[in-house]
Amino acid sequence: GEDVEQSLFLSVREGDSSVINCTYTDSSSTYLYWYKQEPGAGLQLLTYIFSNMDMKQDQRLTVLLNKKDKHLSLRIADTQTGDSAIYFCAEGQTSYDKVIFGPGTSLSVIP
Amino acid sequence: ETGVTQTPRHLVMGMTNKKSLKCEQHLGHNAMYWYKQSAKKPLELMFVYNFKEQTENNSVPSRFSPECPNSSHLFLHLHTLQPEDSALYLCASSQEVAVSSYEQYFGPGTRLTVT
């Protein structure tokens, strides 16, 4: 199948770390993406990782990839109220040349 | 103006109406997309255009009709829609044909309500 799965909701306290998890299905996926959607806006690319990498860090964001388990995670350090949004995991399926999005995880940050 | 723009931002239409959604990208990209976003469901890819040619139609009902007159503009013509078609319709663009490899830039979407 082509499913990308994510939990739908996550709630954290301001200042804590958030970890958003994702599982995907296509082992040939070359690129794995995290997009952010703020209320009333379209999706915006946050970061991406190549499938030959295990980890990528970009300021407060850390992406971990376990290719064996087809598991991707996004860690947001020192989560702020401005991080409240929906986060979409997506896999770039090389074999089909398409990008499959997950259902999105709605992150709520409690002040 | 930069990025990907969509008009209108909100649209309410009856089931017998005909309307069109417009998308414009100012990024010099060659691929454009229509997605449907419904609550609690994965983003549904509807259509893909590369260099003005439609390369994917994801089993979309014929009441949705896309048009891509040039690489910068994409339309979605709507007619005789159903209430279940109410959703946020997102347009996106990316640099090139290798869809899986390039970042997609999204517009803010058109919130469509079918009454």
Check CB contact under 8 Å for A92 and B100: yes
Rounded to the nearest angstrom, the minimum Cα separation between A80 and chain B is 23
Which residues from chain A sit within 8 angstroms of residue B98, using beta carbons? 97
Q: Number of H helices and number of E strands within chain B?
A: 0, 11
Q: State residue B97's pLDDT score.
A: 63
Q: Please choose, from the candidates B107, B110, B36, B85, the residue with its C-alpha nearest in 3D space to the C-alpha of residue A37.
A: B107
CA-nearest residue to A28 within chain B is: B100
Asked if B15 contacts B114 with a C-beta cutoff of 8 angstroms, the reply is yes
Instruction: Report the percentage of chain B scoring pLDDT > 70.
Output: 95
Which of B92, B98, B107 shows the shortest C-beta gap to A97?
B98
Rounded to the nearest angstrom, the minimum Cα separation between B6 and chain A is 10
3-state secondary structure chain A: CCCCEECCEEEEECCCCEEEEEECCCCCCCEEEEEEECCCCCEEEEEEEECCCCEEEECCEEEEEECCCCEEEEEECCCCHHHCEEEEEEEEECCCCEEEECCCEEEEEEC
Asked if A28 contacts A94 with a C-beta cutoff of 8 angstroms, the reply is yes
Check CB contact under 8 Å for B56 and A98: yes
Rounded to the nearest angstrom, the minimum Cα separation between A5 and chain B is 9
Instruction: Report the percentage of chain B scoring pLDDT > 90.
Output: 70
Tens digit of each residue's pLDDT (9 = 90 or more) over B23-53: 999 999 999 999 999 876 778 999 999 888 8
Check CB contact under 8 Å for A42 and B108: yes
Burial of A39 (0-12, 13-18, 19+ CB in 10 A): exposed
Burial letters B48-80, b for 16+ CB under 10 A, else e: bbbeeeeebeeebeeebebebeebbebbbebee
Range B80-97 average pLDDT: 91
Which residues from chain B sit within 8 angstroms of residue A94, using beta carbons? 100-101
- Mutation target to probe the B interface, by most B beta carbons within 10 A, among A99, A100, A101 is A99
Tens digit of each residue's pLDDT (9 = 90 or more) over A41-100: 889 999 999 988 999 999 999 999 999 999 999 999 999 999 999 999 999 877 777 888
Rounded to the nearest angstrom, the minimum Cα separation between B70 and chain A is 22
Higher pLDDT, A26 or A53: A53
CA-nearest residue to B31 within chain A is: A98
Asked if the model's pLDDT at residue B55 lies above 90, the reply is no
